[in-house]
Amino acid sequence: KVPQSKPCEDGGQPCKKQKKMLTYQQRAALCTHPVAKRLFTIMHEKRSNLAFSVDVTSATQLLQFADDIGPYICLLKTHVDILEDFSQDFVTRLQATAKKHNFLIFEDRKFADIGQTVLKQYISGLYRICDWAHIVNAHIVPGPGVIHGLSKVGVPKERGCLLIGQMSSQGSLATGEYTTAAVKMAEENSNFVMGFICQGSLTDDPRFIHMAPGVQLGGSGDQLGQQYNSPAQMVTEKRVDVIIVGRGILNAEDPVATAKLYQHAGFEAYENLSNNLCFCTI
Amino acid sequence: KVPQSKPCEDGGQPCKKQKKMLTYQQRAALCTHPVAKRLFTIMHEKRSNLAFSVDVTSATQLLQFADDIGPYICLLKTHVDILEDFSQDFVTRLQATAKKHNFLIFEDRKFADIGQTVLKQYISGLYRICDWAHIVNAHIVPGPGVIHGLSKVGVPKERGCLLIGQMSSQGSLATGEYTTAAVKMAEENSNFVMGFICQGSLTDDPRFIHMAPGVQLGGSGDQLGQQYNSPAQMVTEKRVDVIIVGRGILNAEDPVATAKLYQHAGFEAYENLSNNLCFCTI
């Protein structure tokens, strides 16, 4: 059910400015992409638009974090290529934890090579990413071949891909026409591409999911160019769907309590957005 | 010694159009970057501007290729993340082979994340790339933070980095201002950045080395967007310094004989370029 609209501020006349906003549940119903459908469903059921970026270098520590923070998130974002002790056993345990707490796994590999190469990087090597990551992402700089290469493997396995349309780092070149090109490539490959890594909404198509890294309560940045926005800024102002929080939780004194805080802040921003939008028109 | 110039076609007047061309040896002398200096020296000594891209998924097969093709190349380009049987022993043997045949190792990782992340991807994980790869490369799309993150590790270890200024794949977005931005970032970080992955010369600064993938004798492309140029086109027309050949050698009936062919074609193109250039002015 679409949330109730408030009377339009503009004297009760239909407000042309606001777009109709769909709930996660409605968007799940619209999705034909299996992973997007599943993720929107989890977001609705768990009342969470929080992704946790668990950038630790110990697999044991990663699994502990996944188990502790798992109940509050819709998605766990990994960089398995920084783990000192990656193993097949780790993968099995990670998958079990994801199932236990009902979250998806997103390996933030940022594939960025020609099609033939990313295909091999996705299926082979020590990490065999396609075997366990529900979602991966790709830079579009090589051209559409990067998506074609990955989708040859990903589509049969019912995996999803996010295109990097924007980045949170200072001086990023993913802007303007580059970002527009990402949206076009997503639309042309929507059997595999399910959304974007971005800093704000890039398309009104409700089937695409927008995820923003660089989210922190009260943070400003680091010494290597990272820049932060708050959950409310990202969800209410920038209209992103999923907030990706890493160091905001990892470096907190109480990571579990802090994850709950981010879950609440992110979901409240989504609900506020619903409540404040005018639904008098499409 | 600068190769002898031919009389200028323009009636013996100084020809303003041609740039002065330096030999590999002269460029080695100009370089302050330790890896660029070493690579130009190897290119001069071995009379080879050939890099071999050994994209196989077996470490044993890779080592055999490295030993067979090693004598004819200046550089071996790897994707260790596609190897099914990567190990520390493999690294030790690869390093020994590189020493035996006097070539450098270039891990084509295409780092493309924020500074904090690429730093961890460079030093840690199962591959510990910074421990054995003389050269790595990076996409500039995240902004300068990607270089700052990598150089924190790479500079103290006397490693080199190539920025991806252009790609060989169809529809690549590394063009125009994006490419210009790569050159600027290279100039601003020349203690770590030693050159470019490109499809033609991007700067006249002789200390930067230009390497071009997508090189094949008689090839046109693949089904996933790769496009090919010949060694002569790349070296004589496009003015790249190192030709990167993968499938042209890997898929040949006689890889060793074919590598020799590419070495000869690449070096002959360099020598022809020297002979045909006018050195009457800078």
CA pair distance B97, B73, nearest whole angstrom: 12
pLDDT of the residue at B3: 40
Q: Per-residue pLDDT tens for B196-227?
A: 999 999 999 999 999 999 999 887 778 888 88
What percent of chain B shows pLDDT beyond 70?
A: 90
Query: Of A20, A55, A67, A110, which one is the catalytic site residue?
Result: A110
Question: What is the spatial distance between Cα A24 and Cα A45, in angstroms, rounded to a whole number?
Answer: 9
Whether residue A100 lies in the annotated active site: no
Kindly report the backbone phi and psi dihedral angles of residue B69, in degrees, each rounded to the nearest multiple of 5, phi listed first.
-95, -20
Residue B21 is predicted with a pLDDT of 82
Tell me the pLDDT tens digit for each residue of A51-84: 999 999 999 999 999 999 999 999 999 999 999 9
State whether residue B156 is helix, strand or coil. coil
Count CB atoms within 10 A of the CB of residue B239: 17
Strand (E) or helix (H) holding B214: none
**Using CA atoms, how far apart are residues A226 and A169, in angstroms rounded to an integer?**
5
pLDDT tens per residue across span A187-212:
999 999 999 999 999 999 999 999 99
Average pLDDT over residues B240-258: 97
Distance CA A151, CA B16 (A): 50
Determine which one of B19, B20, B55, B110 is catalytic: B110
pTM: 0.92
Position B204, amino acid:
D
Q: Residue A98 carries which side chain, given as an amino acid letter?
A: A
pLDDT at A129 over 50: yes
Question: CA distances (Å), B190 to each of A183, B6, B142, B159, B195, in order?
Answer: 34, 34, 18, 12, 9
Using the Cβ of A149 and the Cβ atoms of chain B, whether some distance falls under 8 Å is answered with: yes
Q: How far is CA B107 from the centre of its chain?
A: 11
Q: How many CB atoms lie within 10 A of CB A86?
A: 17
Choose, out of B85, B126, B140, the residue to mutate when testing the contact with A (most A CBs < 10 Å): B126
Q: How far is B239 from chain A (nearest CA, A)?
A: 22
CB B54 within 8 A of CB B80: no
Q: What is the mean pLDDT of chain A?
A: 92
Question: Which residues of chain B lie closer than 8 angstroms to A223, CB-CB?
Answer: 115
The answer to whether A55 faces chain B, any CB pair under 8 Å, is yes
Q: How many residues are there in chain A?
A: 282
- Taking the C-alpha atoms of residue A43 and residue A83, their distance in angstroms, rounded to an integer, is 28
Contact (Cβ atoms closer than 8 angstroms) between residue A280 and residue A6: no
Render the burial of B251-267: b for 16+ CB within 10 Å, e for the rest. ebeebeebbbbbbebbb
The percentage of residues in chain B with a pLDDT greater than 90, rounded to a whole number, is 84
Distance from CA of A193 to the nearest CA of B (A): 17
State pLDDT tens for residues B172-182. Answer: 999 999 999 99
Instruction: Give Cα separations from B238 to A50, B213, B230 (angstroms).
Output: 48, 12, 11
CA B18 to CA B10: how far, in whole Å?
Answer: 11
Q: 3-state class of B176 per DSSP?
A: helix
d(CA B135, CA A244): 32
Could you confirm whether A113 is annotated as catalytic? yes
Name the band, by pLDDT with cuts 50, 70 and 90, for residue B113: very high
The answer to whether B214 and B228 are in contact (CB under 8 A) is yes
Q: Which residue in A53, A58, A82, A88 has the most chain B C-beta atoms within 10 A of its own C-beta, making it the best mutation to test that interface?
A: A82
For helices B255-276 and B59-69, give the axis angle rounded to 10 degrees: 50
How far is the CA of A56 from the CAs of A80, A81, A237, A245, B132, in angstroms? 9, 10, 30, 13, 23
**Contact check, Cβ <8 Å, B83/A120:** no
Burial B141-163 (b: 16+ CB within 10 A, else e): bbbbbbbbbbbbbbbeeebbbbb
CA-to-CA separations, A37 to A24, A40, A104, A162, in angstroms, rounded: 9, 5, 12, 14
Q: Is A227 on the interface with B (CB under 8 A)?
A: no
Whether the CB of B225 is below 8 Å from some CB of chain A: the reply is yes
Question: What is the pLDDT confidence band of residue B276, given thresholds at 50, 70 and 90?
Answer: low
Q: What angle do CA B136, A244, A157 make, to 5 degrees?
A: 70
- A10 to chain B nearest CA, in Å? 42
State the amino acid at position B116 in one-letter form.
Q
Q: Quote the pLDDT of residue B281.
A: 44
* CB contact at 8 A, B136 and B111: yes
- How many residue pairs bridge chain A and chain B with CB atoms within 8 Å of each other? 169
Q: Is A167 on the interface with B (CB under 8 A)?
A: yes
ipTM score assigned to the predicted complex = 0.92
Say whether pLDDT at A3 is over 80: no
Residue A86, chain B, CB below 8 Å: the answer is: yes
Q: Strand pairing partners for B199?
A: none
CB A274 within 8 A of CB A12: no
In three state form, how does the secondary structure of chain A look? Answer: CCCCCCCCCCCCCCCCCCCCCCCHHHHHHHCCCHHHHHHHHHHHHHCCCEEEECCCCCHHHHHHHHHHHHHHCCEEEECHHHCCCCCHHHHHHHHHHHHHHCCEEEEEEEECCCHHHHHHHHHCCCCCHHHCCCEEEECCCCCCHHHHHHHHHHCCCCCEEEEECCCCECCCCCCHHHHHHHHHHHHHCCCCEEEEECCCCCCCCCCCEEEECCECCCCCECCCCEECECHHHHHHHCCCCEEEECHHHHCCCCHHHHHHHHHHHHHHHHHHHHHHCCCCCC
Joined together, the tokens standing for residue B34 give: 């330790």
